[in-house]
Structure 1
Amino acid sequence: MPRSHRFLLLALALGSVLLTALARHHGFFWDAVLQASRYAQWYYQHGLQRPVLPAEFDAGHPPLFGLALAGVWRLFGPSVAVSHWAMLPLVLGTLWQLYRLVRRFLPAAWVLPGLLLVWLDATWLAQSTLVSPDVAVTFCYLLALNGLLARRPGQTAAGTAPLVLLSTRGLLLWAALGLTALLLRWPEWWPRRAAEGKRRFDLTVRTLLALIWPLLPALLLAAGWLGLHYCLTGWVGYNPDSPWAGNYQRLGPAGVLRNVVIIGWRLVDNGRLTLWLVGAVAAGLLWRGGWRPGPRTGQLLALWLPPVLIMSGLMVWYANPIGHRYYLPALLLLALLVAHLLAELAALPRPSARGLPRILAALALLGLLSGHCWVYPDRIANGWDASLAHWPYFRLRQQSIAWLDAQGIPLGTVGSSFPNAYPLHDVDLTGDARRFAPVDLRRNRYVLQSNVMNFGDAALDSLQQYWHLRHEERAGQVYFRLYEVRGDR
């Protein structure tokens, strides 16, 4: 490894350590309150006496992340800080897997800008500072992907086996890896002209087995988990009686079209619009210069397309909210594809334009960094766990709770919404069993509202028009507002 690459990796690793240190007291956030904190608490308290979670918070996800976090707690004690530090090896492992991908597809001169383009994605940086199963999913996916590219079946199996036991999205990404393997090997099976002049596919049982067998252990593990879950609960995938049943409601044509738009939005959000524009400019200039896609470009498309197609092909039909983090592997691979196009542009024999690829790369990097400032107005849904813009939330939440305590206002009289609707202990692991009341504008005396929380337009209108703003905390792009009911309501 060149010295400059070692320095780059060390700098990015130290940056990740610093971000983890700064975020070590941030409580569990968004879906991680359920999938990390509550799952791990169950296994920490009960072990494997009952491997399936209680019905009231069983969302159908495989249990590996919660089990692993519970194991860490048994060694070092259950705390938010321990949970954050436990994520660091996965973050650094992801950095190494991304470096291997960058080294494979980019020339040495473009490793530095290429790795920065990949690593500085706003959604990845945000997730890397959270106790999130999606970090583990991303690491396992990239580990298996590098195994496919290097034709190391053991590595592919080592990545896919835990992948399918981390979350339901891990099961979908297993299918994406299968499609990726097929696309990567497809040129070898393309119809060839035999000696007699006829075309035939060079596809045999042996080649199919070589393709499939590294993925089989994960398939068996997934089948075993789903079978066990079905035997103990009577359902897999989703429970029609669960609080999340509405997320699996089938949509009509208008709803499907809306989901397609949302997926497109997720792919360009948080500064990635600049990445797409830079990639389009680079591709246009390359085409005008006589360049045509080669094997490396085809391989990168074979890496990027499957996770997008598999995830989208399932999610567009349902009402389930579509998060940015669902596409994390695809977002990182998109940046790698754009870096490849810029490297190809730099290789064209046009001395007058040699500096242009570097300028475009700098613009793309600035665009990605700007993604942490992409916060929409209150009535437009924000992906708060998809950028570092959410960081002030944790401090403001603590300050608001402290103010309520100082005023002698019981939390049970204050309505609040997701992700602030859980018991305080589930978020902070402090042993505080108090919780906010559900939002009910006809019964609540107080309502604690933030632009990070899920409040509908009608509730926001009512609070702003008919309630008294009693207290406000604000930092960065995040605010907390305490409303008190008026006497004339």
Structure 2
Amino acid sequence: MKLRNINLRAIYKGLILFIISLFVVSLSLKTGMFWDNVLFGSEMGNPLFQNGIFKWNSIPLNSDAGHPPFLATLLATGWTLFGKSLTTSHLIMFPFVFGLLWQLSCFVDFFVKEKTLKIWAFILVISDPTLLSQFVLVNPEIIQLFFFFLALNAILRNNIYLKIIGLAFLGIVTYRGMMLCGGIFIIDVLIHTLIKKRKIITFFSKRVFLTYSIAAIPACLYLIWRIINKGWIISHPLEIWGNAWEFSSIQDFLINFGRNILVLGHQFTDFGRIILTLFILITFYIKRKQIDWKKYNYLLVIAIFSTIVIYFTSLLIKNTMGHRYYITSYLSLGLLSFLLIKEYRMKKFVYIGLLASLLLGNLVVYSDSFAQGWDSSLAHLPYWELRKKGIEYMDENELPIKETASFFPNSTSIDNIDLNGDMRSFIKFTGKEKFVFYSNVYNLSDYNLEILDKDYSTIKSYTKRNVRVQLMKRNSNSSQDE
């Protein structure tokens, strides 16, 4: 009878999560390819769609990010079977959206035992703005988050087979997936030594060695293939995205290192997470004498060390990594904050405050001169409607798209974003173009913003919830004409 009840609960939970996943994907069908996903999805997927799903050598050098073409291969497969479209692409994400929600519910179940509290903890965890944004985009993040939590839950429950499967797939989604595998290994070691109080020598058993060796095979095979066929792994030969290690001096490196620390701190507290962060820090301080630290050791280890390889790398390179790279840490901190609520009397009030801070974080929009992680909250959602209106206006007024400048991630073909077969392409902005298609979601440099302000005038503007799309025309007396 007990086993039957467990099976029924699993079925009910699966059905609810299935409905949630279907709802999320159905609301996302008109959301185009955005930011790096234009590269990981469209630009890498199109050659595979045209030349053969597994013909990875057909990816042109200027579209080759070096990462395993996991998402591109999935998309090319779906496009081949069901036709190339945004709808097909989002439906391909559905199993991973459902799988991640299931794994997150299992993650919560490990730490929260009361049935009702599990639901509220789950809601708080999945309300992280950066996670919510990934749910509505076609991207590799949801895929690798699914495999990460599959492997992590396997460690928490001592399931060696799911651990191998999770790690094996996690390592071939992106290079960052490989970094997350490193985080999983460190977590595994620390749980064994710091939490379970066992000697480190006993961790390195034959079983553990075989587990990680087998799990590493797919990633190793890809790296070998890449070296043989491409001759490079990470540093792009054309330096299209710049040189991450290009420093003029030790002083330049140290200044950049200090700046990266500030950026990292901002990312962990951005989009409402500052309330959760302060809540955790303040609670640990004022309740330090009464807290049973053993209850929180697991989540502290997971939150700190899951992305440790990523943020150490991010601190050292010239261009820091994005908000979404640390989602596993955000979610662990979210669950940790929920567990800490029990240390207070006004539990409902505290919970509502934490949840509201995350949900309201999706409304945060900075000034045009402040680089925002637009793919890391739901603030970008109005952009898709406004972008469509802008393109329709251009067509109605016969403004040539192929002569109109735009900015990353819109300085590409319409097809690369909308997957609709429209091969007309915006061109990269130089300041000499007659027309410009601009939005504040493009994160322009101060230099380009100054040129637009001085040399261009707005001929049509669309605004919704602090997101803008502007069609601009160069002034006849602009400095660029001189």
Q: Same fold (TM over 0.5)?
A: yes
- How far apart are the structure 2 equivalents of 1:9 and 1:362? 26
How many pairs are equivalent? 467
Matched residue type, 2:129: A
Matched residue type, 1:92: F
Identify the residue that residue 263 of structure 2 maps to in structure 1: 262
Which residue, out of 141, 154, 166, partners 2:161? 154
Matched residue type, 1:331: Y
Give deviations 1:170-229, integer Å, cap 9, x for gaps. 0100111110110111148857xxxxxxxxx4624x743333332222322212111111
Identify the residue that residue 3 of structure 2 maps to in structure 1: none
C-alpha distance 485-48 of structure 1, shift in aligned 2 (>3 A): closer
**Equivalent runs, 1:78-89 vs 2, <5 Å:** 78-89=84-95
- How far apart are the structure 2 equivalents of 1:214 and 1:380? 45
- How far apart are the structure 2 equivalents of 1:385 and 1:5? 33
> Would you say the 8 A contact 2:386–2:469 is kept in 1?
yes
> Would you say the 8 A contact 1:424–1:432 is kept in 2?
yes
Q: Percent identity?
A: 28
Deviation, 1:459, is 1.7
> Would you say the 8 A contact 1:64–1:162 is kept in 2?
no
Identify the residue that residue 418 of structure 2 maps to in structure 1: 428
- 2:221 paired with 1:224: yes
- 2:117 paired with 1:110: yes
Identify the residue that residue 106 of structure 2 maps to in structure 1: 100
**Equivalent runs, 1:193-204 vs 2, <5 Å:** 201=199, 203-204=201-202
> Would you say the 8 A contact 2:405–2:426 is kept in 1?
yes
Identify the residue that residue 272 of structure 1 maps to in structure 2: 273
- How far apart are the structure 1 equivalents of 2:8 and 2:286? 33
Partner SS, residue 397 of structure 1: helix
C-alpha distance 304-65 of structure 1, shift in aligned 2 (>3 A): same
- How far apart are the structure 2 equivalents of 1:286 and 1:110? 22
**Could you tell which deviates more after superposition, 129-138 or 452-461?**
452-461
**Could you tell which deviates more after superposition, 408-417 or 16-25?**
16-25
- How far apart are the structure 1 equivalents of 2:310 and 2:78? 31
Matched residue type, 1:436: F
Deviation, 1:160, is 1.0
**Equivalent runs, 1:309-348 vs 2, <5 Å:** 309-343=308-342, 345=343
Deviation, 1:324, is 0.9
Give deviations 1:45-94, integer Å, cap 9, x for gaps. 22256323321111110122211221122222211011111112111111
- How far apart are the structure 1 equivalents of 2:287 and 2:95? 39
Which residue, out of 460, 469, 476, partners 1:487? 476
Which residue, out of 441, 444, 452, partners 2:441? 452
Deviation, 1:3, is 8.7
> Would you say the 8 A contact 2:306–2:329 is kept in 1?
yes
Partner SS, residue 330 of structure 1: helix
Partner SS, residue 216 of structure 1: helix
Identify the residue that residue 469 of structure 1 maps to in structure 2: 458
Identify the residue that residue 367 of structure 2 maps to in structure 1: 377
Give deviations 1:248-273, integer Å, cap 9, x for gaps. 53560010111111111111111111
- How far apart are the structure 1 equivalents of 2:201 and 2:55? 45
C-alpha distance 8-219 of structure 1, shift in aligned 2 (>3 A): closer
- 2:65 paired with 1:75: no
Partner SS, residue 381 of structure 1: coil
Which residue, out of 177, 183, 207, partners 1:170? 177
Deviation, 1:485, is 1.2
Deviation, 1:409, is 1.2
Identify the residue that residue 198 of structure 1 maps to in structure 2: none
C-alpha distance 241-311 of structure 1, shift in aligned 2 (>3 A): same
- How far apart are the structure 2 equivalents of 1:44 and 1:76? 12
Partner SS, residue 243 of structure 2: helix
- How far apart are the structure 2 equivalents of 1:189 and 1:470? 65
RMSD over equivalenced CA pairs, Å? 2.2
Which residue, out of 235, 255, 265, partners 2:232? 235
Matched residue type, 1:157: I
- How far apart are the structure 2 equivalents of 1:297 and 1:49? 45
- 2:285 paired with 1:287: no
Give deviations 1:402-454, integer Å, cap 9, x for gaps. 1111111111221100010111111111111111121011x211111110113
- How far apart are the structure 1 equivalents of 2:13 and 2:468? 36
- How far apart are the structure 2 equivalents of 1:464 and 1:38? 32
> Would you say the 8 A contact 1:141–1:163 is kept in 2?
yes
- How far apart are the structure 2 equivalents of 1:48 and 1:389? 34
- 2:66 paired with 1:66: no
Deviation, 1:301, is 1.5
**Could you tell which deviates more after superposition, 328-337 or 463-472?**
463-472
> Would you say the 8 A contact 1:419–1:454 is kept in 2?
no
Partner SS, residue 252 of structure 1: helix
Give deviations 1:28-61, integer Å, cap 9, x for gaps. 1111111012222222222256323321111110
- How far apart are the structure 2 equivalents of 1:321 and 1:446? 32
Give deviations 1:2-29, integer Å, cap 9, x for gaps. 9999877755653442232122022111
Partner SS, residue 203 of structure 1: helix
- How far apart are the structure 2 equivalents of 1:440 and 1:337? 48
C-alpha distance 35-156 of structure 1, shift in aligned 2 (>3 A): same
Give deviations 1:375-425, integer Å, cap 9, x for gaps. 111110111111111011111111111111111111122110001011111
C-alpha distance 299-328 of structure 1, shift in aligned 2 (>3 A): same
Gaps of 5+ in 1: 192-200, 347-352
Identify the residue that residue 131 of structure 1 maps to in structure 2: 138
**Could you tell which deviates more after superposition, 414-423 or 449-458?**
449-458
- How far apart are the structure 1 equivalents of 2:321 and 2:200? 40
C-alpha distance 420-368 of structure 1, shift in aligned 2 (>3 A): same
**Could you tell which deviates more after superposition, 134-143 or 394-403?**
394-403
> Would you say the 8 A contact 2:53–2:77 is kept in 1?
no
- How far apart are the structure 1 equivalents of 2:78 and 2:30? 17
- 2:239 paired with 1:211: no
- How far apart are the structure 1 equivalents of 2:90 and 2:142? 12
